[in-house]
Amino acid sequence: MAKLKKTNKAKKVAPEGYESPNDFFNSVFSDKKMIWMGQNTNHLHSDDFISNAMIKCVESKEYCKYPPPEGFPHLQNLILKDLGLEDMDILITAGGTESLYVCISEIVEPHHNVITCDPGYLIIDEFASRFSNEIRSIPIYNEECGYKLTPKLLKKHMDDNTRLVILIDPLNPLGTAYTKEEIEEFALIAEENDLYILHDITYKDFARNHFSIAKYAPNHSITIFSFSKIFGMAGLRIGAVITTSELIDCVRSALINDLGTNLIAQAGAIAALESKPKWIDRIVNTTRSNQRLIKEMVDKIPDISIVAYPSDGNMLAIDIEKTGINPVDLESYLLEKKIFTRRGKYTSKRFGDKYLRVSFSVPENQLKVFIDEFPKAIEELR
């Protein structure tokens, strides 16, 4: 039998008791009593603006047709207006993950290196490893750098072959975000060294403040937009890439999905942006209130702490290293209590044994179940 070509993507290990990762996620998804605090998804949309738009689209049977291959212009314009980037170009994609892949595949050559951070969104490292010579994953799990990739760290680790720098802002899994001064300095570094900053702003609407690098270095930046989090549309897989027309032309050639992104999802996305002023404050305020409740709970338990507080995302990391508890065991214990969280190894190769990641854009009654069960879990597993 001919040898099959494989990528460098790390093999996913199924949690104990499951035949495969897919088997695990199917089990978690199918359990209607499960409290979903493991994937940074948003469960706070109590109105029907988005769902009604998609239902109307289904009833019209428009799904029999292909949508425009690069997205409906109305949706494109709404995204650009939301970001204040009306002078940029845009492609609608099947989620932010597709945007990440097509951008990395077109920008990076084999002799280049890519700078990421650890902890971070490891799928980006996996994508970059398919196209570049080296992934420089900079350790940022320390107070000195503020638990984020700083301009100082970038200067220390970059060289003439650095082509792409990944900024997840706010950062999954720690929730750290960038100041205006830091974004301006990153922009200057990109322009002076002719490299690109890929600015993943998936969680930007949860942040207290957010600054777009595209406004400071438009010719050296790519913005990744997602509907999965603040809009609560994770399962619909819709996002976008925003950059200059020149770069969009390059990315366009890498698109596999050239018959367009799910038009029902696009109908929902249009309604999401048009209705955003009606629900954004409520969802953000509830999310921040939930975070405060978690902080109050954590402060009462010896030997654990929130890594970066307050988080500017809808997730945070709880450091449990001093307890001697393995995050895998803590994740499993909570799962038995119908609470889905994520072990640190999901977002960090170096530091994954130190923390549990918890997302908190869930109804308060569900959050209170977590607050009740978490201290019991720590006491039981010590």
Condensed to tens digits (0 to 9), the pLDDT of residues 316-332 reads 999 999 999 999 999 99
| Helix spans in 130-223 (H) | 151-157, 180-193
- Cα separation of 78 and 83, whole Å? 9
- Cα separation of 43 and 26, whole Å? 18
**Tally of CB atoms within 10 A around 192:** 10
Span 131-152, average pLDDT = 97
Examine residue 363 and say whether the peptide bond preceding it is cis (omega within 30 degrees of 0).
no
Q: pLDDT (tens digit, 9 = 90+) per residue, 259-292?
A: 999 999 999 999 999 999 999 999 999 999 999 9
Percent of the chain clearing pLDDT 70 (strictly above): 97
Span 366-382, average pLDDT = 97
CB-hemisphere CA count at 13 Å for 281? Answer: 2
Say what the pLDDT of residue 254 is. 86
Say what the pLDDT of residue 2 is. 57
Percent of the chain clearing pLDDT 90 (strictly above): 92
Evaluate the CA torsion angle 214, 217, 218, 220 in order and state its sign: negative
Residue 1's pLDDT band (cuts 50, 70, 90): low
3-state secondary structure of 241: strand
**Which residue in this structure is represented by tokens 């939301």?**
82
pTM higher than the cut 0.85: yes
Q: What is the mean pLDDT of the chain?
A: 95
In three-state form (DSSP H/G/I as H, E/B as E, the rest C), the secondary structure along 33-88 is: CCEECCCCCCCCCCCCHHHHHHHHHHHCCHHHCCCCCCCCHHHHHHHHHHHCCCCC
Residue 248's pLDDT band (cuts 50, 70, 90): very high
Q: pLDDT (tens digit, 9 = 90+) per residue, 74-131?
A: 999 999 999 999 999 999 999 999 999 999 999 999 999 999 999 999 999 999 999 9
- Cα separation of 60 and 69, whole Å? 20
Say what the pLDDT of residue 280 is. 98
Min mean pLDDT across 1-5, 90-94, 195-199 is at 1-5
Residue type, 259: L
Q: Does the pLDDT of residue 6 top 60, yes or no? A: no
